[in-house]
Amino acid sequence: MTLQVYFNAGASLWPEYEPLLRDGFKVAGIKVNLFDQTDDPASVDYMIYAPRSKADDLSAFTNVRLIQSLWAGPDLLIANPTLTQPLARMVDDDMKLGMIDYVMGHALWHHLNMPLFSQAKPGEWLSEHFPGLPRDRTVAILGVGQLGMACARALAVHGFRVLGWSRSQKSDDLVSCHAGPDGLSHVLGEADIVVLLTPHTPQTENLIRSETIALMKPGASLINPGRGALVNDADLLAALDSGQISYATLDAFRSEPLPADNPYWTHPRVQVTPHVASETRAETAVQIVVENLRRAEAGETVRFLVDRGLSY
Amino acid sequence: MTLQVYFNAGASLWPEYEPLLRDGFKVAGIKVNLFDQTDDPASVDYMIYAPRSKADDLSAFTNVRLIQSLWAGPDLLIANPTLTQPLARMVDDDMKLGMIDYVMGHALWHHLNMPLFSQAKPGEWLSEHFPGLPRDRTVAILGVGQLGMACARALAVHGFRVLGWSRSQKSDDLVSCHAGPDGLSHVLGEADIVVLLTPHTPQTENLIRSETIALMKPGASLINPGRGALVNDADLLAALDSGQISYATLDAFRSEPLPADNPYWTHPRVQVTPHVASETRAETAVQIVVENLRRAEAGETVRFLVDRGLSY
Q: Provide, as residue numbers in chain B, all residues whose Cβ is less than 8 Å from the Cβ of A269.
A: none
In the sheet where B193-196 sits, what is the strand order? B176-179, B161-166, B138-142, B193-196, B220-224, B245-250, B270-272
Average pLDDT for A22-43: 95
Does any CB of chain A come closer than 8 Å to the CB of residue B257? yes
Active site residues of B: 227, 275
Percent of chain B beyond pLDDT 90? 79
Tell whether omega for the bond before B134 is within 30 degrees of 0, i.e. cis. no
- pLDDT, residue A52, reads 67
**Would the CB atoms of A125 and B273 count as touching at under 8 Å?**
no
Give which of B177, B42, B193, B271 is closest to A109, Cα–Cα: B271
Average pLDDT, chain A: 93
Cα-based torsion angle of the residue sequence A118, A122, A127, A133 in order, rounded to the nearest 10 degrees: 10
Q: Does position A311 have pLDDT exceeding 70, yes or no?
A: no
- The pLDDT score that the predictor gives to residue B161 is 98
* Over residues B197-208, mean pLDDT: 94
- Report the C-alpha gap between B68 and B44 in whole angstroms: 13
Alpha helices in B28-162 (DSSP H): 75-78, 93-111, 114-117, 146-158
Distance from CA of B109 to the nearest CA of A (A): 6
Enumerate the residues of chain A whose CB falls inside 8 A of the CB of residue B154.
158
- Residue of B93, B129, B130 to mutate, testing the A interface (most A Cβ within 10 Å of its Cβ): B130
| Cα of B74 vs its chain's centroid, Å | 10
Q: What percent of chain A has pLDDT over 70?
A: 96
Strand order in the sheet with A138-142: A176-179, A161-166, A138-142, A193-196, A220-224, A245-250, A270-272
**8 Å CB contact of B130 and A272:** no
- CA pair distance A171, B216, nearest whole angstrom: 46
d(CA A157, CA A175): 10
Which residues, numbered 136 to 165 in chain A, qualify as contacts with chain B under a Cβ-Cβ cut-off of 8 Å? 154, 157-159
- Nearest C-alpha of chain A: how many angstroms from B115? 11
For residue A194, the Cα-to-chain-centroid distance in whole angstroms is 15
Across the range B297-304, mean pLDDT stands at 92
Neighboring chain B residues of A273 at a CB cutoff of 8 Å: 114, 117
Residue A128 burial class via C-beta count within 10 angstroms: exposed 0-12, middle 13-18, buried 19 and up: exposed
Which pLDDT belongs to residue B312? 44
* Contact call for B94 and A120, based on CB within 8 A: no
Cβ of A269 under 8 Å from any chain B Cβ? no
Q: Is the pLDDT of residue A257 over 70?
A: yes
Chain B: closest CA distance from residue A64 (Å)? 32
Question: Measured between alpha carbons, how far is A287 from A292 in angstroms, rounded to an integer?
Answer: 9
Name which of A123-132, B101-110, B242-251, B303-312 the model is least confident about: B303-312
Task: For residue range B119-144, list pLDDT tens digits in order.
Answer: 999 999 998 898 989 999 999 999 99
Of A66-80, A211-225, A287-301, B257-271, the range with the lowest mean pLDDT is A66-80
Listed by number, the residues of chain A in 81-120 with a beta carbon closer than 8 Å to a beta carbon of chain B are: 94, 97-98, 101-102, 104-106, 108-109, 111-114, 117-118, 120
Contact in structure between B283 and B134 (CB atoms under 8 Å): no
Of residues A217 and A1, more confidence is placed in A217
Select from B100, B151, B108, B10 the least CA-distant residue to A131: B100
- Contact across the interface for B113 and A276, Cβ inside 8 Å: yes
B39-60 mean pLDDT? 87
Cβ-based contacts of B159 with chain A (< 8 Å): 97
In angstroms, the CA B116 to CA B196 distance is: 22
pLDDT at A51: 74
Active site residues of A: 227, 275
Beta-carbon contacts of residue B79 (< 8 Å; ≥ 6 apart): none
Of A9-13, A184-188, A297-301, B307-311, the one with minimum mean pLDDT is B307-311
The confidence score (pLDDT) of residue B10 equals: 77
Question: Where is average pLDDT lowest: A55-64, A100-109, B62-71?
Answer: A55-64
| Start-end of H helices in A159-205 | 180-190
Q: Do A112 and B102 touch (CB under 8 A)?
A: yes
Task: Describe chain A by its helix, strand, coil percentages, rounded to 5.
Answer: 35, 20, 45
Judged by CB atoms closer than 8 Å, whether chains meet at B159 and A133 is answered as no
d(CA A120, CA B87): 37
| CA proximity to B89, closest of B310, B302, B283, B309 | B302
Contacts of B118 (CB under 8 A, 6+ apart): A118, A271
pTM of the model: 0.82
**Omega before A257 cis (within 30°)?**
yes
Of B232, B278, B264, B239, which Cα lies nearest the Cα of B73? B278
Query: What band does B51 get if pLDDT is binned at 50, 70 and 90?
Result: confident
Contact (CB<8Å) A276/B117: yes
* Position A312 pLDDT exceeds 80: no
Q: Searching chain B, which residue's CA lies closest to the CA of residue A256?
A: B125
At residue B311 the predicted structure's pLDDT band, cuts being 50, 70 and 90, is very low
Determine whether B121 is exposed, middle or buried from the number of CB atoms within 10 Å of its CB (0-12, 13-18, 19+).
Answer: exposed
Reply yes or no on whether the pLDDT at B198 is more than 90: yes
pLDDT digits (tens, 9 = 90+) for A51-66: 766 667 899 999 999 9
* Residue A84, pLDDT score: 87
Whether residue A90 is predicted with pLDDT greater than 90 in this model: the reply is no
Residue A305: left if φ>0, alpha if ψ -120 to 50, beta else—which one? beta
Of A108, A126, A256, the CB nearest to B105: A108
CA gap A7, A69 in Å, rounded:
10
Which of the four pLDDT bands, split at 50, 70 and 90, describes residue B310? low
**What ipTM describes this predicted complex?**
0.81
Task: Tell me which DSSP letter residue A265 carries.
Answer: G
- Rounded to a whole number, what is the distance in Å from the CA of A156 to chain B's nearest CA? 13
Question: How many Cβ pairs within 8 Å bridge chains A and B?
Answer: 130
Q: How far apart are CA A194 and CA A223, in angstroms?
A: 6
Is A159 in Cβ contact with B276 (below 8 Å)?
A: no
